[in-house]
Amino acid sequence: MNLSKVDNIIQDYKGNPSSLVMILQDIQEELNYLPEPVLNHVAGKLSLSVGHVCSVATFYSSFSLEERGKNVIRVCDGTACHLRGANLLKDEIVRALNISEGQTTEDKLFTLEVVACLGACALAPVMTVNKKYYGQVTREKLLATLEKYRQKDSCVLSEPNDSKKTD
Ligand code: FES
């Protein structure tokens, strides 16, 4: 594993151990998860114990120690979304991608996570793909969205807009 990107991130924070959480966030943003060798490397660079770095990485649910797909789908199962069919949405994704909650597709394109409130209850049911929000998601909208991300990954020239704007 090339650790130069990790070193650059640590350098962005001047190797300050009190910036550990932000450093881990940036590394996850870059790698999509926090591999064990990277946690060991970060610990060494920041002169922290591996145990401390691992405890921080496992404390926050936003961190993943498991390799995730290029596109992380988060389906909200908070109260508002649950009442508006979040389970059906989740089941549809499970069927379409042939994975269970918490799993990643074999081609590493998608990971499915079920989370509590995504903070957009008025748009229930809500899901996100990476950082982009999708509200009032229907079966048709879901399947079209998955297809859009499949297409995007078969063509390097067309990147989806990952803003927080909803579709
Ligand atoms: S309950 Fe789903 S966004 Fe709040």
The pLDDT tens digits for 87-135 are 999 999 999 999 999 999 999 999 999 999 999 999 999 999 998 999 9
Ligand 1 cavity residues, CB under 6 Å: 76, 78-81, 117-121, 124, 126
Confidence label for 8 from pLDDT (cuts 50, 70 and 90)? very high
Residue 24 · residue 35 · CB < 8 Å:
no
Q: Residue 157 — pLDDT band, cuts 50, 70, 90?
A: very low
Please report, as a single letter, which amino acid is at residue 64. Answer: S
Which residue bears the tokens 């063509």? 155
What is the pLDDT averaged over residues 1-13?
Answer: 92
Q: What CATH architecture applies to the domain 71-152? A: 3-Layer(aba) Sandwich (3.40)
Q: How many C-beta neighbours within 10 Å does residue 42 have? A: 26
Which residues neighbour 135 within 8 Å (Cβ) at sequence distance 6 or greater? 120, 122, 123, 124, 125, 126, 166, 167
Where along the chain do the CATH 3.40.30.10 domains lie? 71-152
Point out the ligand 1 atom lying closest to the alpha carbon of residue 120: 3
| Cα 166 to ligand 1 centre (Å) | 14
ω into residue 125 within 30 of 0, thus cis? Answer: yes
DSSP state of 84: T
